[in-house]
Amino acid sequence: MVIFFVLGLAGFGTHGLADGGEAIIIASIVSGVFFTCFLILFAIYWTGYLLKGHATWQAERQAESDGPSTGQ
């Protein structure tokens, strides 16, 4: 995830340094792809983090009630 973020920044920096028309288009596309990959991985990471926290909370709740949750 961090690698894609850094590569996206590098692509954006290349976009600023490019002086040709075709180079700007390619740098924009590459930068956009890297940032998109970063955002997808970031969303997957935080979804997993939240699910892990929910599972921990649910296990603690079950331990307090000494049995499986009945939903009541």
How far, in Å, CA of 38 to CA of 3, rounded? 8
Count the neighbouring beta carbons within 10 Å of the beta carbon of residue 37.
Answer: 16
Q: How confident is the model at residue 68 (pLDDT cuts 50, 70, 90)?
A: low
pLDDT tens, position by position, 5-34: 888 888 777 766 666 677 777 777 888 888
Question: What CA dihedral angle connects 7, 8, 13 and 14, to 10 degrees?
Answer: 70
Q: Is the pLDDT of residue 59 over 80?
A: yes
